[in-house]
Amino acid sequence: MSILALHNSLNTYLLLAALLFGMGIYGLVTRRTLVGMLIASELILAASSINFMAFNRFTAPDPTIGQIFTLFIMAIAAAEAAIGLSITIAVYRNYKSVDTEDLVNLNG
Amino acid sequence: MNPTVVSEAPGLFTADGLAGLVFLIMVATTIIGGYIACSAERLVRGVAGLAVCFIGVAAIYYYLNSPFVAMMQMLIYVGAVCITISFAIMLAAPEDSKKSGPSGPLAGPLGLICAGLATFGMVVLALRTSFPVVQKINMGSVEKIGVQLLTTYSMVFELVSIVLLIAILGALVIARHGRSK
């Protein structure tokens, strides 16, 4: 199969989504600030949306359902970003830092 | 568009070939943006990489027969979420205090192992499974999306609007608390 016909194959999108998911996991594990972890979680959400849209295009009988689901994912992700950022700002006010290693009040 | 896999090779200077070339460029844009977003030393560069990645993802939605979702991706993610994150960086993440790189000597290898295992598992699953090709009952046009949102999914639609309202109010309350300090 030609490399120029890759956009007609489901596996291309699945592999791309897996790669984005892996990058998100890597960022989530290695980042040491809350904002960096939020950026990584946005990558994971984008990967899941690509998976939904790919299955919607290639295997779903009704292609509106996946698009609607992706729109709902976008709405929830926007809400998550707003809440996460306000929590980050509140944490910064209290601790004067957003480094995850400084937030040790709940350490056991 | 026909959902079955096209097997013959298109030439580079036909419409299909050029579409394939632009698709490859957009996939590369997505991957490079994602790499910058998850590994940049400074958070501002990470947010810029995230915006680039989301532009590539919007182009991929366009290739998946969904121009409406692509437009919403540009509006919501590139236009709103990235701007909100950069506001948070300006408000709450002083760049000069500490680096934002990996925390500790073990974090980088451990993160690579976790991410590699997750990616490997998903790739193996995707390549080993054969997915059925089904008959489409409509084309997934914007008109159909609107009808479905206001009939079948109207309850979810209203609930998501309530969730968004509560999220905005909660964000305001949390960020306003302790403002005088």
A33 bridge partner residues:
A99
Determine the Cα–Cα distance for residues A5 and B93; give it in Å rounded to an integer.
Answer: 44
- Residue from the list B85, B87, B138 with its beta carbon closest to the beta carbon of A63: B138
Would you write out chain B's pLDDT as a tens digit for each of its 181 residues?
Answer: 444 444 566 777 788 888 889 999 999 999 999 999 988 888 889 999 999 999 999 999 999 989 999 999 999 999 889 998 988 888 876 655 555 555 667 778 888 898 999 999 999 998 898 888 888 888 878 898 999 889 999 999 999 999 999 999 998 888 887 666 5
A99 bridge partner residues:
A33
d(CA A44, nearest CA chain B) in Å? 10
C-beta atoms of B16 and A4 within 8 A: yes
Question: Taking CB atoms and an 8 Å cutoff, what residues of chain B touch A83?
Answer: 167, 170-171, 174
C-beta atoms of B167 and A14 within 8 A: no
C-beta atoms of A90 and B136 within 8 A: no
Three-state secondary structure string covering A18-72: HHHHHHHHHHHHHCCEHHHHHHHHHHHHHHHHHHHHHHHHHCCCCCHHHHHHHHH
Question: Taking CB atoms and an 8 Å cutoff, what residues of chain B touch A65?
Answer: 148
- Residue from the list A35, A42, A63 with its beta carbon closest to the beta carbon of B89: A35
Cβ–Cβ < 8 Å for B119, A22: yes
Q: A44 in a domain, yes or no? A: yes
C-beta atoms of A5 and B9 within 8 A: yes
Which of B52, B122, B159 is most worth mutating to test chain A (most A CB atoms within 10 A of its CB)?
Answer: B122
Q: A108 in a domain, yes or no? A: no
pLDDT along chain A (108 residues), means of 10: 79 92 91 87 93 90 90 91 88 78 69
C-beta atoms of A35 and B92 within 8 A: yes
Options 1.20.120.1200, 1.10.3470.10, 3.40.50.720, 1.10.3720.10; CATH of B12-95: 1.20.120.1200
C-beta atoms of A38 and B5 within 8 A: no
Question: Domain map of chain B by residue range?
Answer: 12-95, 139-181
Q: A62 in a domain, yes or no? A: yes
The number of residues in chain A equals 108
3-class SS of residue A99: strand
- Structural domain for A93, as ranges: 34-97
d(CA B21, nearest CA chain A) in Å? 6
Q: A102 in a domain, yes or no? A: no
Number of domains observed in the structure of chain A: 1
Place of tokens 């849209």: A53
d(CA B177, nearest CA chain A) in Å? 7
Residue-wise pLDDT tens digits, A34-52 = 888 899 999 999 999 999 9
Determine the Cα–Cα distance for residues A88 and B91; give it in Å rounded to an integer.
Answer: 9
Q: Which ranges of B42-106 would DSSP assign to H, the alpha helix?
A: 43-63, 67-73, 82-92
For residue A91, give the H/E element and its range: helix A64-95
Q: Which ranges of chain B would DSSP assign to H, the alpha helix?
A: 15-39, 43-63, 67-73, 82-92, 107-128, 142-150, 154-176
Which token pair is B102? 């990996």
